[in-house]
Amino acid sequence: MSIEKEEAVEALVARLAAARKGERGALLPLLHDIQHELGRVDGAAVAAVAAELNLSRAEVHGVVSFYHDFRERPAGRHHVQYCRAESCQSRGGAVIEAALAERLRVAMGETRADGQVTLEPVYCLGLCAIGPNALVDGAPVARIDGTAAIERIAATVAA
């Protein structure tokens, strides 16, 4: 990352942190703010947050790496989160996941080379009775039990 980009990240983090000054437990909301603005929380942002909140880089990195919603690289244009929780897995989730990854031409946990789609695991969407489930650009897709559902997701991602 160039020095100019690091300075821009530091300025953004300083502005966002100032808006949360005095707020108890500001770390998570600040990280969400950064993710919303930059589409990621990378190393430069981690360092800037640590400095702003008087935390160690390890503490901030630990939070970023613990929560799956934070990412170090921007997601693709479309974001597909596929449930890997027990209920969805018991309904054939692993087979459907493989078919979905093949149809979208992206491996689980990756962003396709053209930046069109990111496929990520999620561990329960709270729709266990009607799984397997996914979130496609934040919208739930339930009963992914055949090619029709996979094709609906692929059509959304192709748009």
Task: Please enumerate, by residue number, every residue annotated as part of a binding site.
Answer: 83, 88, 124, 128
Enumerate the H helices of 20-158 as residue ranges. 27-38, 43-53, 57-66, 86-90, 93-104, 147-158
The CA distance from 19 to 17, in Å, is 5
Task: List, in sequence order, every residue forming a beta bridge with 122; answer none if it has no partner.
Answer: 83
φ/ψ (deg, to 5) at 70 = -90, 140
Q: Which residues are annotated as a binding site for [2Fe-2S] cluster?
A: 83, 88, 124, 128
Give helix 57-66 / helix 27-38 axis angle, nearest 10°: 70
